[in-house]
Amino acid sequence: MEYPQRNLALDLVRTTEAAALSSARWLGRGEKESGDKAAVEAMRLSFGAIDINGTVIIGEGEKDNAPMLFNGENLGTGSGPRVDVAVDPVEGTNLLAYGRPNAISVVGVSPAGTMLDPGPSYYMEKLAVSAAARNAVDLNAPVDTNLAHIAKALGKDIADLVVFVLDKPRHADLIQAIREAGARIQLHSDGDVAGSLMAIDPNSEVDVMMGTGGTPEGVLSACAIRAIGGEMLCRLNPQKDKEKKALAEAGTDLSRIFSVKDLVKSDDVFFAGTGISGGSFLSGVRYTGNGATTHSLVMRGKTGTIRYIDSHHNWNKLMRFSAVKYD
């Protein structure tokens, strides 16, 4: 038996709240870079107060592209546990820029050396389901077979299922196959981290996420999926010649199927996400004139604890000392 230990996710949620509060000012203003920059700067400042020795494994580029949180950047005070960090200050920058739902700010942390570094891979095929269906899926199986097995595991008919798919030209055949199988579809322009989270949340109307999305987003999603007990099967799926060439030069096996345990090799994982633009999953930032409210999700893998947090931020007090100017 152990005494209660520190839940790092409760520290991490302050970073996603800060990023959401700063970037939500740019909702629908058509300035993708400005919204992302605001989130990055707020998140970086907030990480400076957390006692970790963190290294960014999943970031947004290289150092010369600052102010992005770049791969290899050190985060935290430098004291405390050594950890791998996955960040996306605005997951769904286009969603934020054009005022569309489900833009979120997300962070995942696991012990140092346990998070997959995707290297030159940008895209992977993914299949994400909740814990109830984690043993029912096979990435090599036809779409209709997977949907039949998922439906059986969930105690549903195929016609009851809702499948999250990114609305991209590359998914034309997948969408047709899902329709022919008889399942329903939610098409989203962006945001496959949100899609993965919806698929594993038993309270969501989404039952499964299918299709090709970002490899870094896959690793970030795996932090939450590992914590909650769902499954995500993945296979690298390069979309451009440059990516294919880089993976070939690295000797990468494109036939390998990754499970969530390959992407994050520890149950001692933490995840936090805060809604920015609102939507069916997490409510967005709501400004009240003298403050704001945020809606967040935090998870701790070791205990399986999931918390939804509604926070009320008071500008009259916060702005007396905050280095981040939210108002």
**Neighbouring residues of 279: CB distance < 8 A, sequence distance ≥ 6:** 101, 102, 103, 194
Residue among 106, 92, 95 nearest 29 (CA)? 95
Task: Report strand pairing: 208-214 vs 270-275.
Answer: unpaired
Question: Which residues touch 274 (CB under 8 Å, ≥6 apart)?
Answer: 13, 16, 17, 19, 20, 104, 105, 282, 294, 295, 296, 297
Output the known binding site for substrate.
91-93, 123, 168-170, 190-192, 214
Burial per residue of 148-177, b for 16 or more beta-carbon CB atoms within 10 angstroms, e otherwise: bbbbebbeeebeebebbbbebeebeebbeb
Nearest to 72 by CA among 54, 45, 88: 54
Q: Which two tokens stand for residue 19?
A: 């990023």
Annotated binding site: 36, 60, 88, 91-93, 123, 168-170, 190-192, 214, 217
The CA distance from 297 to 283, in Å, is 10
Q: Would you list which residues are annotated within the binding site for Mn(2+)?
A: 36, 60, 88, 91, 217
Find out whether the peptide bond into 111 is cis, omega within 30 degrees of 0: no
Element (DSSP H or E) covering residue 107: strand 104-111
Show the beta-strand stretches assigned E in 121-216: 123-129, 162-166, 184-188, 208-214
Pairs from 60-67 (Cβ < 8 Å, separation ≥ 24): 60/87, 60/88, 60/89, 67/37, 67/40, 67/41
Write down the residue that tokens 């633009």 correspond to: 277
